[in-house]
Amino acid sequence: MHGSGDSHPHTVLFNVWRSMTEHSQTMSISNGSNSQILYSHDGCGAPISDSAVDHEHVDVLGVKVSAVNMVRAVELADQWVMGGRAGYICVTGVHGVMEAQKDPGLLEILNHAVINTPDGMPMTWVGQVQGVSNMDRVFGPDFMLKMCELSLDRGYRHFLYGGRPGVAEKLKEALEVRLPGLQVVGTYTPPFRTLNEQEEETLFAQLRDSKPHILWVGMSTPKQERFMAQYVDRLQVPLLVGVGAAFDYHTGRIRDCSNWIKRAGLQWLHRLLQDPRRLWRRYLSNNPAFIWNISLQMLKLRRYPRDVERSCPTTQSNAEGVFDASLCQPNCNRDSSS
């Protein structure tokens, strides 16, 4: 049952799905090379990226998911930090994609990310169906560790935002023990609501004093994505990265699973068994809905546009013409639990 190759049930299902859809791909990929940029960073207003991080994307129900593997994702993030501009990275799996179907503001935020990594095997399977062979899962907790390892050479400073009371401090200690010399220059545990003006100023002051290169945001989806889009131009930090449960993984609150479970696309089941009361509704509703909708997309029976008309009913550009998620009301900033 746990062997390798085509004996995995998910592999058999994937091969059947690919054979059904290989002539119905919705992406315009040239036959010559996978290095073609499938989507440029366009959309409403000016993009929040530049040529330094141009890369392939695949279309997952209208969400632009970066066609990257771990090495490429780290390389692109490194280039962005060195460039010094403000931007954010989303780490997106089935949950994020399905939330974006209900929330046009979230869709807009995901599609304006510097990188939107494939945090789940279904994202990579869709990419393979669409012709991208070198795409692989970029799991948020693993991406965080890889960037921290790189930082030992680069000298990048890190700031931890999110988690329950005490979790960010515990994570700081765990990372510094695991990677001696790592510079974690601050932590902030936000309330379970929108920051008020005094709390904003406290956070801004901490960031001005500590001058981090990377701010890790450990909140639930879509809260962390809304936070990053709202504050990316106000925090004076080159890169914000929403890594969700990474804070809990690296502090031991959530147990990790075996690699074969991850490769089989079954990590959601491992998490569900650990926290069924909180997660049952998410997985038992989102997963079947995702399978149904992605099948419709692959068979070209339904289109999932990623354009402005679908994404936001109001203008999302500020006076300078730059994308501003705070203008995407009411979806981008409404409070929501996950």
Residue 49 reports pLDDT greater than 60: no
Residue 7 reports pLDDT greater than 70: no
19 part of a folded domain: no
Q: Taking phi first (over 0 means left), then psi (-120 to 50 degrees means alpha), and beta for anything else, what does residue 138 get?
A: beta
Specify the number of domains making up the chain: 1
Residues β-bridged to residue 322? 46
10 part of a folded domain: no
14 part of a folded domain: no
Q: Which one-letter amino acid corresponds to residue 145?
A: L
58 part of a folded domain: yes
Residue 56 reports pLDDT greater than 50: yes
How far does Cα 218 stand from its chain's mean position? Answer: 12
22 part of a folded domain: no
290 part of a folded domain: yes
Mean pLDDT of the chain: 81
**CA-to-CA distance for 148 and 248, rounded, in angstroms?**
17
**CA-to-CA distance for 312 and 110, rounded, in angstroms?**
13
Residues β-bridged to residue 18? none
pLDDT score recorded for residue 262: 84
Residue 245 reports pLDDT greater than 50: yes
Which tokens hold the place of 62? 């209208």
Split at pLDDT 50, 70, 90, the class of 307 is: low
pLDDT score recorded for residue 258: 85
Which of 123-137, 209-223, 323-337 bottoms out in mean pLDDT, i.e. has the lowest?
A: 323-337
With residues binned 3-state (H G I as helix, E B as strand, rest as coil), the percentages for the chain, rounded to 5, are 45, 15, 40
Q: What percent of the chain has pLDDT over 70?
A: 75
Average pLDDT over residues 247-251: 94
CA distances from 199 to 79, 169, 195, 247 (A): 31, 18, 6, 21
Average pLDDT over residues 150-159: 98
Residue 25 reports pLDDT greater than 60: no
296 part of a folded domain: yes
**CA-to-CA distance for 99 and 295, rounded, in angstroms?**
18
∠ CA(54), CA(60), CA(66), 5° rounding? 25
Q: Give the structural domain span for 80.
A: 40-327
Q: What percent of the chain has pLDDT over 90?
A: 62
